[in-house]
Structure 1
């Protein structure tokens, strides 16, 4: 088989799902002996690309300036010819326009991954986002996203592939998380051993639904159903100091100072979910995938998600009494959330352990990193006639 060179285009390599997936595909390509190039402005994860065997091509890919996009297209076309790039894969709109133009100019296959919902309130936005549906293959990260693409851009099923994001299950293996990691988090959060933890892990922004988690805790406290449980809101405010202030005021007004804590970013998410009694994804806006609902289940932690976007795809809901791994509640409904939290917090240890085992098995069957990598390389194989997927195992 001739040497395969795949060029991925992303704005920056800071943090997030598209950036993590970029690194993971570099790892998979390197294992097959293919060459992996990444056109990007760089960022903290650029080192991870290089450590995985990939090569960074520094270009101003985050720019939305039309002149810069056109200039990037010319630069990419030149790189494609000089480096004999076999296929181009774009993961965000601005770089996708440059990559699309370069692919058409050089007659190379073009793949996109639709990572976000993308606003379509005005015609210009719909046109701008349409590049993500112009790939020879369009990868959606959930069935919710696939339906969105089909409705907005009329992409046929023949061109669309649904590939869930995957996680490294070994990172969340409970036996691999040593006691010192759990103790470090308890100390950082001010939680006693054995004290039940409700974990909401998301950046502090209103659409992530922190207000409703606090409201649910308030209802539980008023009904004498909260006990000594602690609600941990883990996430950076990313400059949204006013929103953090609103949450702090809400906690104070509800008399929840002993029960709800804003702890900032958590660097050890596997340990956090291993420590939690139940996880919450309270988003009021659509998640196109919802990684934390997968990570919590991988750690054996039951999860409550809101009925919006792709989140319900990720759990086996309690409404299906056999084999359930979590609860699905209406969006922005603190009473329903409180009811599910009470149910989760009063599970017997044996029942909770059984749910945790089912949750891990559920993730292992649908959401592994290895399957995401294999399925993505299989898309490349469709267009190139190669056998990359077989070599990635």
Structure 2
């Protein structure tokens, strides 16, 4: 079969990673894989692994993007994929209009993946208007059913995102030279109990909660927090605000920002506890799963995809949402008695890829049904 995936860009993020993973699985299984995007730094990797990339500016939330409908329609007719798989709202709308100009008998099958808890409106509804709608967690299934009742329940297919356990092996420890470099760069981290908060510097990730937590746990001199994640230039003012808050709380010696890192596996394995404190529910919670996979305990709010992962793998890490005292007590328990995380057997990348490819095949085997008017 031939599958064309459409997404805004190929730089970084969960949507992008999922696209590459499915493209890789398609090629490995002997199928044809095509990706349409505005390009980005992941394109060379995508192409090296056997996928064809078509660069079209289908990434901007702008009426000018409608100028790409003709070019997209031309690409679909030229490639004649069996399946179109849309992974974001702007590409989904452009695909919607492109298909309108293609005769019914020539249209490919249409699949979407709902990767996020989008704002609820007509613009977002396009993600639920496909033959099959992949939801990346039970929380996303509930979101679709609650907010888009017009989407037939039988069209919704839950396929958890997954990780490769070989990339995040249980019990993994960074090499000696990694430790050597980290202690050279950040000597304050040596011989400490490390609390890690991974994620971009945005108001959504719970940095203020981390600062308040460290303030409450000042009487543990061995405790040190590490924030792994960079700040977009537009978020610099927020980073400055956080650092000012840390200075005021006299926590500058207790919290270290290490910026954007490509060695996230090493940081997750190095940490004693990883925190998931986002102010909003996450659709899946890949970083929490990666931490658990290497054997590091995760403590997080009981909501969204992170709660689903913790419930299945490490329920003692679940905290009632915004219950700061329970968070403090749970971190204390982990400091005073280190916990063990069993090897993770659920949420595998292999299972995600197998189920997605099986869904593609099942749709090809069925008579065509499209929701495009």
Q: TM-score, normalised by structure 1?
A: 0.87
Is structure 2 residue 3 aligned with structure 1 residue 30?
no
Whether the 8 Å contact between 1:199 and 1:233 is mirrored in structure 2 is yes
Is structure 2 residue 10 aligned with structure 1 residue 13?
yes
Is structure 2 residue 58 aligned with structure 1 residue 61?
yes
Aligned residue in 1 for 2:351: 371
Supply the distance in 1 between the matched residues of 2:191 and 2:11 (Cα, whole angstroms). 36
Aligned residue in 1 for 2:81: 85
Supply the distance in 2 between the matched residues of 1:114 and 1:93 (Cα, whole angstroms). 9
- Structure-2 change in CA distance of 1:181 and 1:170 (3 Å): farther
Supply the distance in 2 between the matched residues of 1:259 and 1:46 (Cα, whole angstroms). 39
What are the Cα deviations for residues 169-201 of structure 1, in whole angstroms up to 9, with x where unaligned? 112223474222233334333344432100000
- Structure-2 change in CA distance of 1:113 and 1:290 (3 Å): same
Whether the 8 Å contact between 1:88 and 1:103 is mirrored in structure 2 is no
Supply the distance in 2 between the matched residues of 1:58 and 1:191 (Cα, whole angstroms). 46
Aligned residue in 2 for 1:309: 304
* TM-fit CA distance, 1:42: 0.2
Whether the 8 Å contact between 1:213 and 1:334 is mirrored in structure 2 is no
Supply the distance in 2 between the matched residues of 1:189 and 1:166 (Cα, whole angstroms). 32
Aligned residues: 359
Supply the distance in 2 between the matched residues of 1:186 and 1:331 (Cα, whole angstroms). 34
Q: For 1:228-243, list aligned pairs within 5 A.
A: 228-239=222-233, 240-243=235-238
Tell me the secondary structure at the aligned position of residue 57 of structure 2.
Answer: coil
Supply the distance in 1 between the matched residues of 2:37 and 2:62 (Cα, whole angstroms). 15
Aligned residue in 1 for 2:282: 287
Whether the 8 Å contact between 1:284 and 1:331 is mirrored in structure 2 is no
Tell me the secondary structure at the aligned position of residue 172 of structure 1.
Answer: coil
What are the Cα deviations for residues 30-80 of structure 1, in whole angstroms up to 9, with x where unaligned? 0111111111100111112112211110101102333533x4333222222
Whether the 8 Å contact between 2:173 and 2:270 is mirrored in structure 1 is no
Q: Pick from 319, 336, 346 the counterpart of residue 346 of structure 1.
A: 336
Is structure 2 residue 52 aligned with structure 1 residue 72?
no
Aligned residue in 2 for 1:49: 46
Is structure 2 residue 324 aligned with structure 1 residue 334?
yes
Q: Pick from 118, 123, 128 the counterpart of residue 123 of structure 2.
A: 128
Aligned residue in 2 for 1:250: 245
Tell me the secondary structure at the aligned position of residue 316 of structure 1.
Answer: helix
Aligned residue in 1 for 2:37: 40
- Structure-2 change in CA distance of 1:192 and 1:215 (3 Å): closer
Tell me the secondary structure at the aligned position of residue 7 of structure 1.
Answer: strand
* TM-fit CA distance, 1:234: 1.3
Q: Pick from 376, 380, 387 the counterpart of residue 360 of structure 2.
A: 380
Tell me the secondary structure at the aligned position of residue 73 of structure 2.
Answer: helix
Supply the distance in 2 between the matched residues of 1:44 and 1:324 (Cα, whole angstroms). 35
Task: Give the unaligned 5+ runs of structure 1.
Answer: 121-125, 318-322, 387-393
What are the Cα deviations for residues 203-223 of structure 1, in whole angstroms up to 9, with x where unaligned? 1111111100110110111xx
Q: Is the deviation greater in 329-338 or in 165-174?
A: 329-338
